[in-house]
Structure 1
């Protein structure tokens, strides 16, 4: 599909009530199009689809002040957390209210509803569109059904259940009559869209033509379905632990794996670290068989936003979202496959519970860890690359060129670590190369979604294979035989944490597991003192958070402007708001 634009004018910008109460297309004297004109012309109809795709956020490090969502989880401390207008400081200061959100413009109530509104308008008219190629018309319809499912799912995992609206609102619609459904009901609505796409033979399982980069393949429907059903079965939405919900999520995961890897040619990319440095290649002989959907546009110049201060002598501006000690502790030992740190014996996470069976050595904490650790984190002594013609190893110890500086500045880490994932040191920072794109959905998630649901539904026996294939790609040994359901649950939680580090899963996982108040109160770092050829390591609390971890943050508040107009939204505002 050629990426052309049309001037579709949505009256009312902010929230779906304002936009849906009026005609979403308007005749204007400056070349804008009427609804009839759009669907009488195939090019304009396809361009309308591109307009809907344009509502997908950038994600990645494009939150306010170039933040990662990870920076407000226990994965990281955002180095810019003292910047008054920044997302991290606003979040910690309690700026999320029914009247405002630090994540506005990215994870945004109005954006999700705009995407839904556009999708409904398209779906109400596509059957009568002037497109003679019925297969093309069917494919466009399928893509927009996926887009509607996407926007609905992003909306409800953030705000909880919302009215399932399948058609444009008619003139004079009584919005005050809208009510909030159950979470199950809205998940059923999302799944029905996904199932319609899965049954649509005109939607390809994967995109292979580079000219179609950015379009949804059918595999996205499988990804959304498995994720939605997994959330539906999780403690936040399944307080009675109804096993049938886990069974439904497991079945969806199993079907997705079958469709993608047996009927299709999806498979894990064999080099975990390199995977995040590569743009998805499309064509006849592709290397990346893992990515299900990658945003088609570069996120920005990563090397300027997340870099080490030594490299910053060239052009870097910030250390960015620096990995926490909690994230580092979550990586297993490669030799034994066992967790290095089992937890903490104190509330401040300064006294780790070391697993004696793991082989972990506190005096050599970076030796022998899961290879994904080395692909994700730059730590003291790790090899960075060549800077100004000189080979450089990270010097995070006190007095080193990349040392931890726990005061108000942006250039140096405040945790003792820097983010390695997505960063290619072979590309000089002063070239301002836009290195990376955001992989929204990938096959590894399907495996771990299935494994979690299967373990909860039927125990660990059949979950092993899905977890082990992900671990094997990373160079990790299989999980030990004989794990109980509880032990497998813990292993899967750990696996998701390290496999998806910084990919926004942690933000949502701790909410659906209802452990937010246990994980996000604080993050710690590691100060390193060099004494000749030896080092001493001291854990410390680098950030205590006053807000963002209480139970009310399991869901975002419905915006006040909506709750004031719809009585049921006000009556059933999310808990704590």
Structure 2
């Protein structure tokens, strides 16, 4: 049995205990026998802590892509193999056809294969959390206060997993205790409301016990703020049109939402997100604004580990080597640091950014390369930190690069790409060889946007909505949004501005894929359906270059895709109902 070491700057669940329990892929399988018993695990503080770290490992979301090996996709409940979720939304695309994001784009996923989620792995984390909750009281060398706090950590981790399941599947089976070989393992799906209520109750109880902060050596552990964040995001989703209003399909309404509209659900979401902002203000959690350059503040908020606005991050991603875990190969642009193809950024997404002057950029069907570069350079700081375009700068080491199609029909290095350029958010720091990479689960910027959105639905055009939204824009170095501006002077216009700001600020962080679902706009042309567009650069016979606006793909959408199907292997057991539309 290996003792887990905790060092400053390193999350305690990075290393794995030698005695980790295994779990079958089917979430309701009976637990396997093991030479290590519950009595062994919960006999001392050191062993119990190691099991808690394993619970973290199996419960905290991870969005970086993984390969298809034994230590890759099979051991992650989320994170597509060989691509990011942004490439399965209107944010982006990968040029190669084999990465798993394309399964969603062409509509070929089903109850027999979902490229984005490992349903059973969620329940591995849930089972670990339940085992810890039920047995931590048996450890003799831990104080009662610390036991309560550790138990509360596991309660939040379990709630987080149920929240991740809920936004994908709607109502799901609530397994409230660790299953025994002699007990009932035939647990049906609970209603959407029952799942929301359970998550909220769990977070409320845990927040009352958990510490506000931890010492530096334990950064990354669940705080009371994390509990508030899980609750706040869950209630925002629950208040959104997909669940709070007319059902998108008539079948099994209790699984997909409430079946009616109630504005008080938006009030609950507003209050919960305001609670996160209040907690942050009291505990030194604040937007990163340490640089004079707004672009550097945005970059630091994403890439600087343990920065001031992180509420929870997964620190379990090791350094990106040449061939393992292959994350860099999937993410880096073609030919950059061994990258295979990179992730293109669609024109649909690029057009959500404004220029530094706070106006929309206009793209003609065709124009000169000089015009292309000029228009790109006019875009706001967050665009510069998020998108690498031909004629732009990657980083100090690689400098400015151009990529285009030569007049002889071949591509230059770095090309081709589907979109206006490559995603460079997360990537421009030299992270190779670092101890870990952080995947952001919760950061403060989200909760300003959550609060602005929810409050605008309860009290249209409330001053606090504008204020929360402008906290983000002020940090970004772009003009503020004012109620006197005719572009933003109604509830509908402010709603559109908040959604647009969310797409920009939280780009590629696994929000947009779910946001367009909870807003019930995924079926609109150019969102998850229809033609996707890019800007391609072409060399002419005389050596000059031009850009052209061109479509690169037609995507498929059906309304049943608003929620995921339960794996067919679970349906075949006879006691779990399939998600509406997937029969």
Give the SS at the match of 2:54. helix
* 2:243 is equivalent to residue 241 of structure 1: no
Determine which of 232, 235, 241 is the counterpart of 1:226: 232
Residue 192 of structure 2: aligned partner: 183
Residue 290 of structure 1: aligned partner: 309
Q: TM-score, normalised by structure 2?
A: 0.82
Give the SS at the match of 1:295. strand
Residue 69 of structure 1: aligned partner: 85
Residue 283 of structure 2: aligned partner: 264
Residue 517 of structure 1: aligned partner: 523
Residue 479 of structure 1: aligned partner: 481
CA contact under 8 A between 2:407 and 2:539: conserved in structure 1? Answer: no
- Can you list the C-alpha shifts for 1:421-440, whole angstroms capped at 9, x where unaligned? 11226x3x9x6667742111
Matches within 5 A, 1:496-515: 496-515=502-521
Determine which of 329, 335, 338 is the counterpart of 2:351: 329
* 2:50 is equivalent to residue 47 of structure 1: yes
CA contact under 8 A between 1:324 and 1:415: conserved in structure 2? Answer: yes
> Structure 2: where are the runs of 5+ without partners?
6-11, 67-78, 246-259, 290-296, 321-326
Residue 448 of structure 1: aligned partner: 449
CA–CA separation in structure 2 for the residues paired with 1:147 and 1:401: 56
User: Against the structure 1 CA distance between its residues 143 and 386, is the aligned structure 2 distance closer, same or farther, given a 3 Å change threshold?
Assistant: closer
CA–CA separation in structure 2 for the residues paired with 1:70 and 1:148: 26
User: Against the structure 1 CA distance between its residues 294 and 329, is the aligned structure 2 distance closer, same or farther, given a 3 Å change threshold?
Assistant: same
- Can you list the C-alpha shifts for 1:319-373, whole angstroms capped at 9, x where unaligned? 31111111111101221x24446xxxxxxx9989xxxxxxxx9894324322111
CA–CA separation in structure 2 for the residues paired with 1:39 and 1:116: 18
User: Against the structure 1 CA distance between its residues 308 and 167, is the aligned structure 2 distance closer, same or farther, given a 3 Å change threshold?
Assistant: closer
CA contact under 8 A between 1:159 and 1:557: conserved in structure 2? Answer: yes
Residue 140 of structure 2: aligned partner: 130
Give the SS at the match of 2:64. coil
Aligned CA RMSD, in angstroms, stands at 3.0
Report how many residues are paired: 518
* 2:251 is equivalent to residue 251 of structure 1: no
Residue 89 of structure 1: aligned partner: 102
- Can you list the C-alpha shifts for 1:164-215, whole angstroms capped at 9, x where unaligned? 3322235544444x33332122111001111112111xx22234322x2442
Using the TM superposition, give the Cα deviation of residue 158 of structure 1 relative to its aligned residue in structure 2, in angstroms: 1.1
CA–CA separation in structure 1 for the residues paired with 2:300 and 2:279: 26
User: Against the structure 1 CA distance between its residues 330 and 125, is the aligned structure 2 distance closer, same or farther, given a 3 Å change threshold?
Assistant: same
- Can you list the C-alpha shifts for 1:227-278, whole angstroms capped at 9, x where unaligned? 10000000111114310100000011111111111x2111001200233232
Give the SS at the match of 2:206. helix
Residue 173 of structure 2: aligned partner: 163
Q: TM-score, normalised by structure 1?
A: 0.82
User: Against the structure 1 CA distance between its residues 35 and 244, is the aligned structure 2 distance closer, same or farther, given a 3 Å change threshold?
Assistant: same
CA contact under 8 A between 2:391 and 2:401: conserved in structure 1? Answer: yes
User: Against the structure 1 CA distance between its residues 459 and 480, is the aligned structure 2 distance closer, same or farther, given a 3 Å change threshold?
Assistant: same
User: Against the structure 1 CA distance between its residues 457 and 535, is the aligned structure 2 distance closer, same or farther, given a 3 Å change threshold?
Assistant: farther
CA–CA separation in structure 1 for the residues paired with 2:453 and 2:396: 42
> Structure 1: where are the runs of 5+ without partners?
281-287, 342-348, 353-360
Using the TM superposition, give the Cα deviation of residue 149 of structure 1 relative to its aligned residue in structure 2, in angstroms: 0.6
Residue 147 of structure 1: aligned partner: 157
Matches within 5 A, 1:176-215: 176=186, 178-200=187-209, 203-210=210-217, 212-215=218-221
Give the SS at the match of 1:297. strand
Of 212-221 and 67-76, the range deviating more from structure 2: 212-221
* 2:576 is equivalent to residue 576 of structure 1: no
Using the TM superposition, give the Cα deviation of residue 527 of structure 1 relative to its aligned residue in structure 2, in angstroms: 1.8
Using the TM superposition, give the Cα deviation of residue 517 of structure 1 relative to its aligned residue in structure 2, in angstroms: 1.4
Using the TM superposition, give the Cα deviation of residue 533 of structure 1 relative to its aligned residue in structure 2, in angstroms: 10
CA–CA separation in structure 1 for the residues paired with 2:441 and 2:532: 26
Using the TM superposition, give the Cα deviation of residue 512 of structure 1 relative to its aligned residue in structure 2, in angstroms: 0.6
CA–CA separation in structure 2 for the residues paired with 1:167 and 1:299: 32
- Can you list the C-alpha shifts for 1:61-106, whole angstroms capped at 9, x where unaligned? 33454211101111011123x22xx203333454421122212xxx
Using the TM superposition, give the Cα deviation of residue 146 of structure 1 relative to its aligned residue in structure 2, in angstroms: 0.8
